[in-house]
Structure 1
Amino acid sequence: MSGLKWQGWLVGLVVLAGLLVFAPLGLYVWASGEPGAAPPRAAVEDVRVTGCRIDPASRRVVATVQAAGRPQGLGAYVVTVEFRERADAVPGDRAAQALVRLPGVAPAAVEHAEAVGPVWPPSTPPWCGVAAAEFRPTPG
């Protein structure tokens, strides 16, 4: 009879140890958000360069940037545009960059802005691309 008593205690201790190990893990998963909720997408996925040209008067490169609104609400984008001679980045080379701000982008809206780059050498076609982007929701 005393063997059964020890087995009961052993089962109880194993169950208690399991609760101590797995309960915090379950609480962490439960508190981390909705199951299956996707992490917010990167702002760089919402923006793109739709045009890259040399302004004939100033000889500066001008990139047209497009930003799509997010379903979360009104917000502003700050986009870093890069200007290079080739689409492939050359290791060690520093590309010219410019910041462009797109304020008040509404959900489901598409806004455009222009980033002005450096004076560009004649007969060299420029490449313009998005180097980085940041989205900040508008409070309110």
Structure 2
Amino acid sequence: MALKWQGWVVGLVSLAGLLVFAPLGLYVWASSPTGPAGPAAPPPEVRVTGCRVDPASRRVLAEVEARGGQGSYVATVEFRDRKPPQADARTSQTLVRLPGLAPDVPPARTEAVGPVWPPATPPWCGVAAVAREGESQR
């Protein structure tokens, strides 16, 4: 009688192990590279060329320019009330898309719209991060 229950226990433990470790194995298999990785394209040079407060809407507007790189990128533009970051500094971020960059084309330009800004406080605008579209930002 005891052998009959041991068979069931072994079967259930095997099934539980399969349910736990099969997704992990599939994840490792799917995330492994399929071939030799070629040299990565250098990231584009992204910079803020202008930072101002729109008088009508009181929102911060940053003109963003990108040159170089290959493909589409997403840049995080940061708005602060002081250039050096401090604990009490007001900060806000927005994302802008920079599609179709190539080394031999003119720079791509776009505008980042920030938050409503308080009067008599000059904003500082800068690029916080740049990532290839579809990847996480660094």
- Whether the 8 Å CA contact 2:60–2:117 is kept in 1: the answer is yes
- In the alignment, structure 2 segments of 5+ residues that lack a partner are 1-35
**How many aligned residue pairs are there?**
98
What is the distance in 2 between the residues matched to 1:40 and 1:60? 35
| Aligned counterparts, 1:21-100, within 5 A | 41=42, 43=43, 46-70=45-69, 73=70, 75-91=71-87, 93=89, 95-100=91-96
Choose the corresponding residue for 2:100, options 89, 104, 109: 104
Residue 79 of structure 2: SS of its match in structure 1? strand
Question: Is 2:120 the partner of 1:114?
Answer: no
- What is the TM-score of this pair, normalised by structure 2? 0.61
Of 56-65 and 89-98, the range deviating more from structure 2: 89-98
Is 1:129 equivalent to 2:126 in the alignment?
Answer: yes
Whichever of the two has the greater Rg, that structure is 1
Please give the root-mean-square deviation of Cα atoms over the aligned residues, in Å.
2.6
Q: Which amino acid aligns with 1:57?
A: A
1:102, CA displacement in angstroms? 1.1
Q: Segments of 4+ in structure 1 off by > 3 A?
A: 91-94
Cα distance, 1:94–1:81 mapped onto 2, change above 3 Å: same
Task: Report the CA distance between 1:77 and its aligned residue.
Answer: 1.4
How far the C-alpha of 1:69 sits from its partner, in A, is 2.3
Alignment partners' CA distance in 1, 2:129 and 2:123: 18
* CA displacement, residues 47-94 of structure 1 (integer Å, 9 cap, x when unaligned): 011100111110000001111122xx4x11100000001110013756
| Distance verdict in 2 for CA 1:40–1:78, change over 3 Å | same
Instruction: Among all aligned residue pairs of Structure 1 and Structure 2, give the percentage whose two residues are the same amino acid.
Output: 57
